A and B are shown apart, each in its own frame.
Chain A
Amino acid sequence: MNSGLISIELGVGLLGLIVLMADLWIAPAHRRYLGWGAAAALTCLLVFGLGTLAPQSGTGFSGLYVVDPLARFFKAFFMLSGVVVLLMTVEYADRLAVGLSEFFALTLFAVTGMLFAASANDLTMMFVSLELITVTFYVLNSFQRGKLASIEAGVKYLILGALASAFMVFGIALIFGSANTTQFPELALRQRELSGSPIFLTGLAFVLAGLGFKIAAVPFHGWAPDVYQGSPAPATALLAVGSKAAGFVLLLRLLFGAVPQIATEWRGCLGGLAVLSLLYGSLGAIPQRSVKRLMGYSSIANAGFLLLGVAAVSPAGSIAVLYYLAAYCFTVLAVFTVLCVVMNGSDADDMADLAGLGVRSPVLAAVMTLALASLAGVPPLAGFIGKFLILRAVIAAGATHPGYYGLAAVAVIGAVISLYYYFGIVRMMYWGGESQERSGIAMTPGSGIALLVCVVGILYLGIAPHGLLQLSADAIAPLQPSGAAVVLSEHLGVVTPGGASR
């Protein structure tokens, strides 16, 4: 037992409790400063805690929990998104009628859940951390109790989330029933015998379905557009960035850490889901008028891109997934921060509200354009490198099966369609006609800092990708020894030809 390993998680959870307690002594008018305090404390935990003080590697709690470069990569990712979302919430404070402190605390609890998820090395740990995330989101999504759309978002997330949890727990039961263990490393050792067991495979499929819900991949995507549209913007941002990334880190660990051989056999299925998500998300986004709803569809399409990286079943693919997620984090947070600032006062988020933003606030419009261009994959921004890496991984995998070239073609089509709908927003901002509002837009310093962080991230990852690429390569190293590359090479002859063409 080594409880020092979870010091970061304990710290963030404790911070949430402190925020809740502090609420008792702080006058309602000053509660937004709690957000500042929480953001500052989370930054300290990120810089000092994760950087130096916490153990850099180790396994604890009888193998349930692991700290390795992959976990540390995602912990930094989640804490950074947490900081930005807290700052965003300060901007959003006026629109939350009651319970601002609870919103801060719940955000911190969700981040705690994500931090645990980054280190989960066991199916039960995975389930518990995902539940911590999901349950906090039930509350966060329906936080604006006076707003019908927010209640609707909460209820939809609740019902579908419960369904996904049921899938997952059922799947875990089946896996435990057939394998007698829930730990990833032990599953990896026994995957050859297990891959013949239909009960095990059914269980695995159920668990993957549960994860598919988290990452909003087709066919588990139904909730995304409604929930994205109805939830308060900071909650949507955390959902889009944190929840998706938590789903992907678990997917990577489960597929390549526990069952790499089965992952290789199922790559056709993964590729098929990626294609469906990409096309569904891209095509669904075209007619949208609500920016948040559009981001919901775009989130499905991006899940498709990320799944392409997973479907490549190679180290290059996993590196691409990590890089893409980091780029996605900065860009999506920038988009939602701008939305938070601009949509101040109006509850709707119709695209027409952005009309004339280029005149009202050139800075916000420029940041939004930068973020959307990055999402669309325009160089020299972060999103381009992410898409480039995904494409590279998919095309390189084409040497193992020609079906991958089809995936690359779909990726290109998806990228072009995405350019179309993202630039629809840009067009609205710059030459979308006159808006009624001519006034400038005030921005709190918190949003300023959040936007600065995002813009620096977008540009840095686009212009100097070396550093993060190195980090991503180190991060996926733990997946290697038993992982994809070795298995793929020894497995090439055995793969059935129809495997990836679906």
Chain B
Amino acid sequence: MLTFLILLPLITALVVLAIPGNYRFIIRCVALLGTLETAIWAAILFFRSIPGTPDYQFEQLVPWISAGGLHVNYHVGVDGISVGLVLAAAWVGFAATAVSWDVERESKMFYVLLMLMISGSIGAFASLDLFFFYFFNELALVPTFIMIGVWGWGTDRQAAAFRITLYLTLGALVALVGLVALYTVTGTLDVTELQRQLAGHPLPLKTQMLVFPCLLFGFGTLVGLWPFHSWAPLGYASAPAATAMMHAGILKKAGLLALLRVAWPFLPDAVAYWMPVLAWLCLGNLLFCGFVALRQRDLNLLIGNSSLAHMGFAFLGLASMNVIGLTGTVLVMVGHAFLAGLSFALTGWVRQQTGTVEMPRLGGLLRTMPFIGSAMILCFLAGCGVPGFANFAGELGVLFGAWKGAMYGLHGWVLAAAWGGLVIGGVYMMRAIRLVLHGEPKREWAEVSDATSGWRRLPFVALLAALVFFGVAPGILTRRIEPAVVEIIRMAGQRALPAAPPGATAAMQR
């Protein structure tokens, strides 16, 4: 079933490729149908997955290579952590396809690349073999570069495409070095196999210390961990709406998922050693990027920076190392997937109608586009963590987790700063609402049109509905996430060094 989900967008891409380029309408309809079906099947998968078990479900294993000392299987499966992400990927993928209705130039290639992105992200979330995880992740990354360069906005889109390419490739390669180093010690990159092998026999300290920094900084770059984040706002500001939605919303989470799946359970000593560093760096995301967002004039740069701030919450949750913190992280990941998708879809609409996202030039848009305006208000409220949206539940979990974590050496005032980050988030979101939506309507925007037909509203409604649904009933997610997280914590409890209270890091330095 997961293979089917991964293949569905690929098959759609092949069908689109076969249609001559001038039948734009048919191409769009095929792409929409394909992604809609993917989204529906992902929803079915989500609700058919059994909550309350840490096991992998819908597993499938096909041998791929076993020669020359290399053993790799195609192995897919979801647990409670990834099932929500698969759902988000398919859902946001559908919305991204729907908002790309107006892409005129070379629309065929655009849709093919978008389908590759969707397929790659679902594949990355579903892969239980880290080789395939990397493979799918790159499959989704390469279209990102091309789409920004070809269909992007602004004069410096090529510079943005180059920067994002070099940063993300460097990050991916560094992570690959870590994975290969792990492979040379264990002889497998299969997560389930690693679990079996390392249960009770944790990796030697030397290996952990070698592998973990590669993974942290490699995957961290992919997620936008401060100070390796500078590709993100620029890239998102230049990217077409669909690409920004898929990358900021979905693809970025792959790095977090890998850290959660691999680094935390299998390299617990290294995690404990690096935890203070991570806590400091995520402060960079929360405060630095927050302050930068405060000063932006470009709406997309603001959202790009705010999405980095949200990643700060995810990292803070990871650093807390307890059940509620990690659960909160996963909730933030899922919530932010819908949130970032919605934000970039909305700004994409505004940019398409007005040709700009410079906030001082906009204003009073709520009058001319009431639907988009209202959706944007809701979206920004969700962005500053108002209860009732999925993000609130996640951020609350992370703060609780960090509070509990504060007892084990995570500095208390890291927590205070995180709370401050929330306040900053509120400030810039409110400021954006005032500048863009409220105030006197400007005459030059009198002609802009709102999303009026139900068809046009569908992608926005779908994403908002998901945000509210998981905000009101986060239990549906947490019941699935928690057992998997408990399992991770259990694995993380098996240290190579005897577990010791806070002073343990000093011993490890020797």
Contact = CB atoms under 8 A, between A and B. Distances in A.
Interface string B165-182: 110011001101100110
A431 B148 CA distance: 12
A380 B69 contact: no
Contacts of B177: 391, 395, 408-409, 412
A388 B176 contact: yes
Interface in A384-405: 384, 388-389, 391-392, 395-396, 398-399, 405
A427 B162 CA distance: 10
A204 to B, nearest CB: 28
B66 interface: yes
B210 interface: yes
Interface string A308-337: 000000011001000100000000000000
A466 B66 contact: yes
Contacts of B134: 379
A354 B170 CA distance: 27
A373 B143 CA distance: 12
B158 A470 contact: no
Q: Chain B binding site: helix, strand, loop or mixed by DSSP?
A: helix
Contact of B69 (A316, A388, A409): A316
Contacts, number: 79
A430 interface: yes
Nearest to B141: A378
Interface residues of A, number: 35
A94 B210 CA distance: 57
Contacts of A380: 135, 138-139
B149 interface: yes
B219 to A, nearest CB: 14
Interface in B55-72: 64-70
Given A378-B142, A427-B149, A395 B162 contact: no
Given A396-B184, A416-B170, A315 B149 contact: no
B135 A392 contact: no
Contacts of B138: 378-380, 384
B183 interface: yes
A466 B67 CA distance: 6
A373 to B, nearest CB: 7
Nearest to B171: A416
A423 interface: yes
B120 to A, nearest CB: 10
Interface residues of B, number: 30
A427 B158 contact: yes
Interface in B150-174: 150, 158, 162, 165-166, 169-170, 173-174
A470 B139 contact: no
B68 A319 contact: yes
B183 A392 contact: yes
Nearest to A408: B177
B509 to A, nearest CB: 19
A415 B162 CA distance: 15
B170 A389 contact: no
A398 B181 contact: yes
B169 A416 contact: yes
Contacts of B70: 389, 392, 469
Contacts of A409: 177
7 contacts: A380-B138, A389-B68, A412-B173, A420-B166, A431-B149, A466-B65, A466-B66
Interface of B: 64-70, 134-135, 138-139, 142, 145, 149-150, 158, 162, 165-166, 169-170, 173-174, 176-177, 180-181, 183-184, 210
Interface of A: 315-316, 319, 323, 373, 378-380, 384, 388-389, 391-392, 395-396, 398-399, 405, 408-409, 412, 415-416, 419-420, 423, 427, 430-431, 465-466, 469-470, 472-473
Which 4 residue pairs spanning A and B have beta carbons closest together?
Answer: A470-B67, A473-B68, A469-B67, A396-B184
